[in-house]
Structure 1
Amino acid sequence: MGDITAGFIGFGLIGGSIARAMRELYPNATLVAYNHNKDVPNKSLELAQEEQILDKIYTDLSVGFSKCDIIFLCAPVLTNIEYLKQLKSIIKPSCILTDVGSVKGNIHEAVTNLDLDANFIGGHPMAGSEKAGFINSNSKLLENAYYILTPTAKTSDKKLEFIYSLVEDMGALPLILDYMDHDNIVAAISHVPHIIAASLVNLVKKSDSGDEKMRALAAGGFKDITRIASSSPIMWQNICLTNTKSIKGFLDQYILSLQDISSALNDPNEDFLYEVFDTAREYRDSIPNKAIGMMAKIHEVYLDIIDEAGAIATIATILASNNISIKNIGIIHNREFQDGVLRIEFYNEESSAQAVDLLRKYRYTIYER
């Protein structure tokens, strides 16, 4: 893949992170990007060129993108669809068109209508940050993140293998799904939660007193479950307008579940209320370690640590001196555990078990999940 030419339309956090990863992986690749505004320089693209991430910036798609082997559509979903119409007469037959949007239905329908099924493979890197833009991009952003691929009925094995290998090379975990299944899944686990978070924040804002006591005391659990409400309003407006059917289906179910809880509070129904929290607790606790279909099991442990300099380094040294490799490590910033809880992920179950035994000998309090 070293001599490929990759084009980017839209160059924010995800597009920039993909470009950074590709530059590190394939230093001889040609990476180009599109500036839709001919009269106004794009500071992000110019910065990327200064950092030698991008080779060239074009203001004319027909000039710069006709030789691309793969084109990443990294603009909002509805904008990406408009670009497909322009690219149809420009790209070479072997070119792969892919996007990074979290909704696949609309763009797949547009691809079919434009007879681009043989070129298109939908993509959704399930990674991100509250911080947007190329300035916050990172070549490691996609590492260990699921990267959903949604091929069409006309996608060739060669094209699918190409992008699958590319995703793996970037350190992400490729997973092939039907685009309709994808939209239902992300509606339930991502889109509806964002709506709930935003509506909860707005509820507190509207309910707050003039001296803003709620705002002053909003911390801990409230900030944990509403963190995602800080995301881009334009992006989430686009998502709601493009994955409407799936979102509405799950949102209506959620509203009914809230009505059931409201009724249980009126009765009051003690058993029902207990079941709500107990069922949720059991399922939530099962999420990190469950292997589902193609998704690999995660081997992780949690432990209390003292909040002092060198605490993490001490644990890492203990494990390294016993030849136990760490896949990922970091502090958990929520109230599910006591303060100062460290999450350590390992490459396999054997390493995880060895680490638990070893750290317990050093009198660390371990939480296995």
Structure 2
Amino acid sequence: LELGALDAVGADDNVAITFVATPVAAVVGAATRALAGGGVVTDVGSVKTGIVNTVNSVRFVGGHPMAGSEQEGVDGASADLFVGATWVLTPTLETDADAYAAVRTVISSLGADVIALPPERHDALVALVSHVPHLTAAALMALAAQGAEEHATVLRLAAGGFRDMTRIAAGHPGIWPDICSENRDAIVAVLDQLIDALSAMKNIVDRADRGALLATLETARAARVNLPATVGRAEELAEVRVPVPDRPGVIAEVTTLAGEMSVNIVDLEIAHSAEGERGVLLLVVDNHAAAALTDALAARGYHPSARSLAP
């Protein structure tokens, strides 16, 4: 309050949406208390399966913004923190379609690009791209720190590459025991893969296999160069209309299918039918992805149609 970061402290009887921003172990309790009031509830925890399965409310939509830095608290805040960032939502078959749409609308207004994934799939992916990289950076930084105790010049020699790779090790360690506990199986599986990859690299270096080393480095370089910096807005968009039964579960199936196909949903709207139990899901996607998405939806038994929004 003193810094002006908050307007008030306490419960709001007229709340429309609650974002639970606590350590992973505290999310379930905080979300349950928030759901006792009104509105929809989402969270920002980096592990989803246990939280989503335990909360198990039609008004709860699990979420995880892939943004931030090693900075903490208000000092790490930024008005454009989520602009261009990927924000994962993890709807289930029980998730209310209007609740999902409300959460997605607010998140999109922050400038984030929303992708929907099943909770289990999310946890497997973030183990690879977030959790294990942090643990790897911490292990490498600890190794360098041990060497620095014997050779004072070690850390003075740490150049840009080392600093870039270990930057995330500067993050607050307090959140990581909960993360590693909640996502243990996925993290251990990726660590096993990393250890195998390092062992293979060790063998290549040990036998001075120049060809294998260059091939491995070239593969890694190509993959790194092709990483998208941010998800941009396509100049040409298409609207995909999907007639759906007006019931929970449909929006999870459609949006997670799009997420698995790496189809960027730029906008989403639910048109409820005034008569009967059917509605139309309106998705705005990149034009080049519309045909593949409609084919995949048709294979699932839907009857979608698409039209270009290009002028």
Superposed counterparts of 1:165-184, under 5 Å: 165-184=105-124
1:57 corresponds in structure 2 to: 9
Determine the C-alpha separation between the residues in 1 that align with 2:170 and 2:264.
Answer: 28
2:62 corresponds in structure 1 to: 122
Q: Any idea what SS the aligned residue of 1:71 has? A: strand
Shift of 1:123: 1.0
Determine the C-alpha separation between the residues in 1 that align with 2:76 and 2:128.
Answer: 28
The question of 1:80 aligning with 2:27 is answered: yes
Shift of 1:230: 0.8
Selected match of 2:167 from 218, 227, 239 = 227
The question of 1:194 aligning with 2:194 is answered: no
Determine the C-alpha separation between the residues in 2 that align with 1:288 and 1:273.
Answer: 25
Shift of 1:237: 2.4
Determine the C-alpha separation between the residues in 2 that align with 1:264 and 1:294.
Answer: 38
Q: Any idea what SS the aligned residue of 1:213 has? A: coil
Work out the number of aligned pairs and report it: 236
2:15 corresponds in structure 1 to: 68
1:143 corresponds in structure 2 to: 83
Selected match of 1:273 from 192, 197, 213 = 213
**TM-score using structure 2 length:** 0.70
Shift of 1:229: 0.9
Determine the C-alpha separation between the residues in 1 that align with 2:219 and 2:64.
Answer: 30
The question of 1:205 aligning with 2:152 is answered: no
Shift of 1:199: 0.5
2:263 corresponds in structure 1 to: 294
Determine the C-alpha separation between the residues in 2 that align with 1:210 and 1:83.
Answer: 46
The question of 1:98 aligning with 2:42 is answered: yes
2:200 corresponds in structure 1 to: 260
Shift of 1:209: 5.0
Q: Any idea what SS the aligned residue of 1:101 has? A: coil
CA deviations 1:14-42 (Å, max 9, x no partner) are xxxxxxxxxxxxxxxxxxxxxxxxxxxxx
Determine the C-alpha separation between the residues in 2 that align with 1:284 and 1:209.
Answer: 33
Shift of 1:129: 2.0
Determine the C-alpha separation between the residues in 1 that align with 2:31 and 2:65.
Answer: 20
Letter aligned with residue 208 of structure 1? A
Shift of 1:224: 1.2
CA pair 192-55 structure 1, distance change in 2 beyond 3 A: same
Determine the C-alpha separation between the residues in 2 that align with 1:189 and 1:171.
Answer: 22
2:2 corresponds in structure 1 to: 47
Determine the C-alpha separation between the residues in 1 that align with 2:115 and 2:222.
Answer: 26
**Contact 2:34–2:41 at 8 Å: present in 1 too?**
no
Letter aligned with residue 57 of structure 1? V
Shift of 1:179: 1.1
Determine the C-alpha separation between the residues in 2 that align with 1:83 and 1:209.
Answer: 43
**Contact 1:264–1:272 at 8 Å: present in 2 too?**
yes
1:19 corresponds in structure 2 to: none
Superposed counterparts of 1:276-355, under 5 Å: 276-288=216-228, 293-295=262-264
Q: CA RMSD in A?
A: 2.1
CA pair 124-284 structure 1, distance change in 2 beyond 3 A: same
**Contact 1:188–1:250 at 8 Å: present in 2 too?**
yes
Q: Any idea what SS the aligned residue of 1:144 has? A: coil
Q: Any idea what SS the aligned residue of 2:83 has? A: coil
Give 5+ residue unaligned stretches, structure 2.
232-260, 266-311
Which protein, 1 or 2, shows the higher relative CO under an 8 Å CA cutoff with sep ≥ 6? 2
CA deviations 1:110-165 (Å, max 9, x no partner) are 113xxx2x111011111102211024322221111111111121112211111111
Q: Any idea what SS the aligned residue of 1:249 has? A: helix
Letter aligned with residue 225 of structure 2? D
The question of 1:247 aligning with 2:187 is answered: yes
Give 5+ residue unaligned stretches, structure 1.
1-45, 59-63, 297-369
Letter aligned with residue 77 of structure 1? V
Determine the C-alpha separation between the residues in 2 that align with 1:108 and 1:213.
Answer: 48
**Contact 1:120–1:152 at 8 Å: present in 2 too?**
no
Determine the C-alpha separation between the residues in 2 that align with 1:281 and 1:266.
Answer: 21
Shift of 1:226: 0.9
Q: Any idea what SS the aligned residue of 1:284 has? A: helix
Q: Any idea what SS the aligned residue of 2:196 has? A: helix
Shift of 1:289: 6.9
Shift of 1:294: 1.9
Determine the C-alpha separation between the residues in 2 that align with 1:65 and 1:252.
Answer: 46
Shift of 1:204: 1.2
1:8 corresponds in structure 2 to: none
Shift of 1:275: 1.7
CA pair 152-205 structure 1, distance change in 2 beyond 3 A: same
CA deviations 1:279-327 (Å, max 9, x no partner) are 101111111279872249xxxxxxxxxxxxxxxxxxxxxxxxxxxxxxx
Deviates more, 1:67-76 or 1:266-275: 266-275
CA pair 289-223 structure 1, distance change in 2 beyond 3 A: closer
Shift of 1:225: 1.0
Shift of 1:276: 1.4
Selected match of 2:92 from 145, 149, 152 = 152
